[in-house]
Amino acid sequence: MANGMASVPGVPRRKPGLAVKRMCRGPLVLLTLLGAALAAAPARAQFLDAEATASGPGLGDVRTFKYRVGLVVTAEGGPCSGLYATLPVPEEWPEQKVRIVAEDVSPAVRNLRYRTLPGGVKQMVVEIPELPAGKQARAVVTFELDRAAIVAPPDTAGLRIPEKPDRALKAHLGTSPYIETRDPKITALAKAAGKDLDGWRKVEAIYDTVRDKVEYRNGELKGARRALADGWGDCEELTCLFIAMARAEGIPARTVWVEGHCYPEFYLVDATGKGWWFPCQAAGTRAFGAMPDQLPILQKGDNFRDPDRPGKSLRYVSEFLKGATVKGTGDPRVEWIREGA
């Protein structure tokens, strides 16, 4: 199927790999958002109208499209039992509204439900107790998404770093996988970049320093420390370094995972203490405090715990499958689906 996904300006498209935490690299999978869907006529819905102020983010054009998520499992080499799978699914955010419009579920699927992990990742949970040899089972859900562009606020002078972040914000101030917040070279660079600055100007100085120090180039995941040392990396490395530097200066920051790409968000408050998350395009055409990209948001964050993978800190919550053939003569084959409907 041809890739019809919209591109992030200036950044070559990359597709996620199968059941891995990588969003910008990896083997090709069934992962397409049809160009016709993204080209649908924009609506002017403003999801943030009730909260909007001169210092908060605004929403631009809203595009509505359908998006399918699910799996098809085939019992190869013998009957399967105890099949259990989880998949991340789109969740609602201020710039994204989500509705389930269809569920295509085989009779072999005895349970399809949803759960939300700490940190905000929503998962589809699929249970298939028995699957005869050679048979298939599918569970595919079609979502309808309204995805808005984000516009930078007209007045940023009063925005500042939160002095007393609450518990939720503190989760975005520490170290995460590949985000080495306490690395001496990262902390020194962050301090130098934001010297004598505060609020919006401080964050913007960190943003420009990252883009100046790290050239965009495809490669394997290596994180913030190595990206700074090597002087190059892709969207994940640029995002990692920005987040690490922001957190080193007490600025809450997190990763936004969209289809085939990622970018960072940072958190600032106004004089009354009211706060917002603001995006920036670490890799690609410069966009600070705004996001013209309208790809599906898959999850936000970069340090998750999944009860099915205990003891692991997950940068991105990928697909997960467990189960076995009854006679041990083969394995269940799974096709993960994320595509435009």
Considering its fold, how many domains does the chain have in total?
2
Q: In whole numbers, what is the pLDDT of the chain averaged over residues?
A: 85
Same domain, 230 and 245: yes
The pLDDT confidence band at residue 332, using thresholds 50, 70 and 90, is: confident
Among left, alpha and beta (phi > 0; psi -120 to 50; other), residue 43 is beta
Taking the CA atoms of the chain, what radius of gyration do you get in angstroms? 21
Query: Residue 274: beta bridge partners?
Result: none
Q: Please, which pLDDT band fits residue 17 given cuts at 50, 70 and 90? A: very low
Report the range of poorest mean pLDDT among 20-29, 104-113, 244-253, 324-333: 20-29
What are the pLDDT digits (tens) for 283-319? 989 999 999 999 999 999 999 999 999 988 999 999 9
With respect to residue 90, please indicate whether it lies within any of the assigned structural domains. Answer: yes
CA-nearest of 104, 282, 285, 177 to 266 is 282
Domain co-membership, 161 together with 295: yes
pLDDT score, position 21: 35
Q: What is the structure's pLDDT at 6?
A: 35
Q: What is the CATH number of the domain that holds 125?
A: 2.60.40.2250
One-letter amino acid of 16: P
Gap between the Cα atoms of 240 and 259, Å rounded: 18
Residue 16 in any domain: the answer is no
Residue 325: the pLDDT is 62
Regarding whether 289 and 158 lie in a shared domain, the answer is yes
Beta-carbon contacts of residue 333 (< 8 Å; ≥ 6 apart) = 73, 74, 76
Asked if residue 146 and residue 68 are part of one domain, the reply reads: yes
Q: Is the domain of 181 the same as that of 120?
A: no
The arrangement of strands across the sheet holding 261-269 comes to 275-279, 261-269, 253-258, 297-300
Each residue of 91-146: pLDDT tens digit?
Answer: 999 999 999 999 999 999 999 999 999 887 999 999 999 999 899 999 999 999 99
Specify if 14 maps to a domain: no
Instruction: Please tell me whether residue 138 adopts helix, strand or coil conformation.
Output: strand
CA distance 277 to 111: 36
192 with 307, same domain: the answer is no
Cα(159)–Cα(55) distance, rounded to whole angstroms?
7
207: domain CATH number? 3.10.620.30
Which tens digits make up the pLDDT trace of 159-207?
999 999 999 999 999 999 999 999 999 999 999 999 999 999 999 999 9
Residues 293 and 313 both lie in one domain: no
- Per the model's pLDDT, the better-predicted residue between 94 and 331 turns out to be 94
Q: Is the pLDDT of residue 32 over 70?
A: no
Determine, yes or no, domain membership for 331. yes
**CB 105 within 8 Å of CB 127:** no
Do both 124 and 49 map to the same domain?
yes
> Domain of 161?
154-300
228, 102: one domain: no
My answer on whether 110 and 181 are in the same domain is: no
Pair (100, 159) in one structural domain: no
Query: pLDDT category, 69, cuts 50, 70, 90?
Result: very high
Q: Is residue 3 part of a domain?
A: no
Longest dimension (CA), the chain: 68
At which residue do the structure tokens 């269809």 appear? 102
Token pair 């599906």 is found at: 296
pLDDT at 191: 97
21 lies in some domain? no
